[in-house]
Amino acid sequence: MKNSFLAKASVPLMFILICAFCIPIAGLSPSYLANEIVTRMGRNSFLILSLLIPIMAGMGLNFGMTLGAMAGEIGLILVSDWQIVGIPGMVLAAIISIPISVLLGVFCGKILNQAKGREMITSYIMSFFINGIYQLVVLYLMGSVIPIKHSSIKLPRGYGIRNTVSLLRMRQHLDNLIAIKAGGIKIPVLTFIIIGVLCVFIIWFRKTKLGQDMRAVGQDMEVARDAGINVERTRIISIVMSTVLAGIGMIIYLQNMGNIATYSSHSQIGMFCIAALLVGGASVDRASIGNVFLGVILFHTMFIVAPRAGAYITGDSMIGEYFRVFVSYAVITVALVMYETSKRKAKSAAGEQLARAQEEEENAGKEQA
Amino acid sequence: MNETVTIKDKFAAALKEFGLPRLIITGFLVLLLVMAPFVGADLPTQISNIINRFSWNGILVLAMVPMVHSGCGLNFGLPLGIISGLLGATLSIELGFTGPVSFLMAVLIATPFALVFGSVYGWLLNKIKGGEMMIATYVGFSSVSLMCMMWLILPYHSPNMVWGLAGKGLRTTISLEGYYDQALAGIARITIGRISIPTGTLLFFALLAFGIWAFLHTKTGTAMTAVGSNPTFAKAAGIDVDRIRTLSVVMSTWLAAIGILVYEQGFGFIQLYMAPFYMALPAVSAILIGGATVNKATIMNVIVGTILFQGIVTMTPTVMNNMIHMDMSEVIRIIASMGMILFALTRKTEAAR
Does this model's pTM top 0.90?
no
- B304-312 mean pLDDT: 87
Say if the Cβ atoms of A336 and B338 lie within 8 Å.
Answer: no
Handedness of CA A163, A67, A116, B346 (dihedral sign): negative
CB B272 within 8 A of CB B174: yes
pLDDT exceeds 80 at position B284: yes
Mean pLDDT of B151-159: 84
Residue A58 pLDDT:
87
Rounded average pLDDT over B181-196: 79
Q: Is the pLDDT of residue B3 over 60?
A: no
The C-alpha atoms of residue A148 and residue A315 are separated, in whole angstroms, by 47
Residue B281 forms contact with A (CB below 8 Å)? yes
Distance from CA of B146 to the nearest CA of A (A): 6
Considering only residues 121 to 140 of chain A, which have any Cβ-Cβ distance to chain B shorter than 8 Å?
121-122, 124-126, 128-129, 131-133, 135-136, 139-140
- Place B348 in a pLDDT band, splitting at 50, 70 and 90: low
The interface predicted TM-score (ipTM) is 0.81
Sketch out chain A's domains with CATH numbers.
2-368 (1.10.3470)
Position A347, amino acid:
K
What pLDDT, on a 0 to 100 scale, did the predictor assign at position B115?
94
Comparison of pLDDT for B274 and A366, the residue scoring more? B274
With a cut of 50, which residues of chain A have pLDDT below it? 1-2
Helix, strand, coil shares of chain B, percent, nearest 5, are: 70, 5, 25
CB A136 to CB B135 under 8 A? Answer: no
CA dihedral for A286, A291, A295, A298, sign (positive or negative): negative
Give pLDDT, residue A283.
Answer: 82
Residues of B in contact with A323 (CB under 8 A): 149
pLDDT (0 to 100) of residue A313: 79
Is the pLDDT at B2 greater than 60, yes or no? no
Higher pLDDT, B115 or A316: B115
Could you tell me which residues come within 8 angstroms of residue A100 by beta carbon, excluding any fewer than 6 positions away?
A: A71, A74, A75, A247
pLDDT digit string, tens, across residues A183-195? 778 888 899 999 9
Mutate to test the interface with A, among B72, B76, B120, B145 (most CBs of A within 10 A): B145
Residue B1 confidence (pLDDT): 44
For B217-250, the pLDDT digits (tens) are 998 888 888 888 888 888 888 888 889 899 999 9
Q: What is the pLDDT of residue B351?
A: 39
| Record: contact A132-B335, CB cut-off 8 A | yes
**Per-residue pLDDT at A121:** 86
Angle between the N-to-C axes of helices A209-219 and A189-207, in degrees from 0 to 180, rounded to the nearest 10: 70
**Nearest in space to B66 (alpha carbons), one of B211, B203, B216:** B216
What pLDDT score was predicted for residue B340? 82
Q: How sure is the predictor about B353, in pLDDT bands with cuts at 50, 70 and 90?
A: very low
Amino acid A247: pLDDT: 94
As a whole number of angstroms, the distance between CA A189 and CA A251 comes to 17
The answer, yes or no, to whether residue B336 has pLDDT greater than 90, is no
- Please report residues of B whose CB lies closer than 8 A to that of A139: 331
> What pLDDT score was predicted for residue A233?
92
Q: Please tell me the distance in Å from A173's CA to the nearest CA on chain B.
A: 34
When scoring B123, B141, B345 by the number of chain A Cβ atoms within 10 A, the one with the most, hence best to mutate, is: B345
Contact B345 A122 (CB under 8 A): yes
The secondary structure of B179-239 as a DSSP string is TTTTTTTTTT-EEETTEEE-HHHHHHHHHHHHHHHHHHTSHHHHHHHHHHH-HHHHHHTT-
B352 touches chain A (CB under 8 A): no
CB A70, CB A131: distance < 8 Å: yes
pLDDT tens-digit profile of B204-216? 999 999 999 999 9
B contact residues 36-95, partner A, Cβ 8 Å cutoff: 76
Q: Which of A104-113, B268-277, B342-351 has the lowest mean pLDDT?
A: B342-351
- Cα separation of B45 and B193, whole Å? 10
